[in-house]
Chains A and B, each alone.
Chain A
Amino acid sequence: MNLSQKTAFELAESCRAGKCSSEDILKDLARAIEAKDSSIKAYVRFDAKKSLRRTVSKEAPLYGVPIAIKDNICVENEAITCGSKILQNFVSPYNATVIERLLDAGAVIFGRTNMDEFAFGSSCETSFYGPTRNPHDLGRVPGGSSGGSAACVAAQTAIAALGSDTGGSIRQPASLCGVVGIKPTYGRVSRYGLIAFASSLDQIGPLTRDVRDSALLLKVLAGGDPRDSTSANVPVPDYLSFLGKDIKGMKIGIPKEYFKKEGLSPAVEKAVRQEAAQVLEKQGARCEEVSLPHTAFAIGVYYIVAPSEASSNLARFDGVRFGWRHPSTGNLLELYEKTRGEGFGSEAKRRIILGTYSLSSGYYDAYYLRAMKVRTRIKQDFDEVFKKVNVILTPTSPTPAFKLGEKATNPLEMYLSDIYTISANLAGIPAISVPCGAEVRDGKSLPIGLQFMAKPFDEGKLFQIAHAFEGTRI
């Protein structure tokens, strides 16, 4: 059997037993990439000979397993571009904490995956290096911003990959490509070495073929870090121990606001609200309708808060200390303005302008301060609901994968595709996307994903229910 088709869990066991080596796996992956990636373009850089590893004991949880990395997570002495021209030629001087943790766990770091520029997007179309395509239909987007990571895991050109999620950037592409993606609780995983987009929302998480791999990887990634003062010093349970636990008596809330939106595909609604809910009830869980009354305001809050934080985080890209500089030799102000004007793509510029405007004197109270207050309301909605239920069940995305270019000219329409994922980032809660069906469009079977959300630091419960659900589909 081709090793690129196996899961991380299986491969670590095989490597431990001496049945295969990481070189064997990399060889199979290189072959798969050569065959498929020229059409999918999930990778921005890949060199099977230049993989990174450490000598570790055979007990290491990811012993010998290659992991692909989104191009916004720093790997020492390697190029990192964040999908942007402005970071051309930048070489990371240090490892992100998640990279250190993967290496210590026996993983092999290889391949950098494509993404929307600075993670601004839901389709992987805003990358300076060109779009990634959905392996299920090359005419469609893989979702974004971690579109490359989702596409390579789905195409079996990677075993598992890291992504980052600010408003759905792990879960939405996971849903559109038919893989599993988790956004952990805010603070659960260190962000040291992640190029910042919106610091009160960003989280790193894994994209994997199944729930067991998701639990295996998060166990390695999670935990406090002295180098990230926003990381939480909360003990990390053994997530694998939640798999196989029955879900009898578990209470599942289905928020009514998530199903009355225009634009929700009937096939998605049926797969989540009827079929998935039924399957879970058959296993002894109890579904009940709940209300998250401020849901309709989440996108409005997000598109003030996220661009505001982004405009501040992206101020550092000025052509002086790193990356690309405009060749004109004017004064310093001109150097800043021209470098940023030509170095950033159109979506990045749109968000910098939007954020700068929301934070500027005279508009701060009307936009940013108000958005932060409504954010409190959204968070309170979840606090209330989690008094009654253990997890919340929703679709991950209102539709399956859309066509390349379909939403590229209408930013607001693109923003609305994140409607179900954004609230978890605003509230800081964990959420996982799991494949739950398919919808046939233009003769192609396109994956549908469902989302479970839980209380802060309750990822174990997400793995428990996601695994129980997944078990009914295999």
Chain B
Amino acid sequence: MVHIDLKQVARLARLHLTEAEMKLLEPQLGQILSFVESLKEVKVEGVEPTSHPLSLSNVFREDQPHVKAVEPERIQAFIKNSPASRGSFFEVPKIIEDKS
């Protein structure tokens, strides 16, 4: 069975997992990844990866703000969705340490 360093992956995903959750997840993920191991049977030498089902190309346009989007009440509609805000800013815990 494939083994995952769950603590490390959870840290990368910025996701807090309890001990009980990790105990449950470990065998489940192992089972899923063991199933996925079957992909090794497919010959893929020289095969281009498909990241997208259609052949798309870049779409360019002028970089202009949408008039409606910059109206103050529109900005408030976005700010209001934040669990913590002040004026037109999102509020987060302090991120710069005090000099000691």
Contact = CB atoms under 8 A, between A and B. Distances in A.
A363 B50 CA distance: 18
B42 A374 contact: yes
A374 B38 CA distance: 11
A294 interface: yes
B87 interface: no
Interface in A82-105: 89-91, 93
A373 B44 contact: yes
Nearest to B43: A377
A296 B38 contact: yes
A398 B12 CA distance: 37
Contacts of B28: 350, 411-412
**Which one of B14, B21, B94 has the highest number of Cβ atoms from chain A below 10 Å of its Cβ?**
B14
Contact of A93 (B21, B25, B78): B78
A243 B9 CA distance: 51
A341 interface: yes
Nearest to A341: B16
A376 B50 contact: yes
Nearest to A425: B53
A373 B39 CA distance: 10
A235 to B, nearest CB: 16
B15 A353 contact: yes
A415 B58 CA distance: 34
A230 B51 CA distance: 13
**Which one of B4, B16, B42, B51 has the highest number of Cβ atoms from chain A below 10 Å of its Cβ?**
B42
Given A90-B81, A335-B92, A373-B49, A318 B39 contact: no
B47 A377 contact: yes
Given A353-B25, A377-B42, A411-B28, A300 B35 contact: yes
Given A297-B39, A325-B84, A353-B9, A331 B15 contact: no
A265 interface: no
Given A325-B84, A357-B4, A376 B9 contact: no
Interface string A410-435: 01100100000000001111000000
A460 interface: no
Contacts of B54: 186-187, 230, 232, 428, 456
Interface string B71-82: 000100110111
Contacts of B61: 226
Interface in A335-385: 335-338, 340-342, 344, 346, 349-350, 352-354, 356-357, 360, 367, 369-377, 379
A355 B54 CA distance: 23
B83 interface: yes
A354 B49 contact: no
Contacts of B44: 370, 373-374, 376-377
A255 B18 CA distance: 45
B99 interface: no
Nearest to B37: A300
Contacts of B74: 93
B76 to A, nearest CB: 9
20 contacts: A91-B81, A93-B74, A186-B54, A200-B52, A303-B35, A311-B13, A320-B90, A331-B93, A331-B94, A341-B17, A349-B15, A350-B28, A352-B15, A353-B15, A353-B17, A353-B25, A357-B33, A373-B44, A411-B32, A412-B31
Interface of B: 4, 6, 9-10, 12-18, 21, 24-25, 28-29, 31-33, 35-36, 38-42, 44, 47-54, 56, 58-59, 61, 74, 77-78, 80-84, 90, 92-95
3 smallest CB-CB distances across A and B, nearest first, come from A428-B53, A341-B16, A372-B49
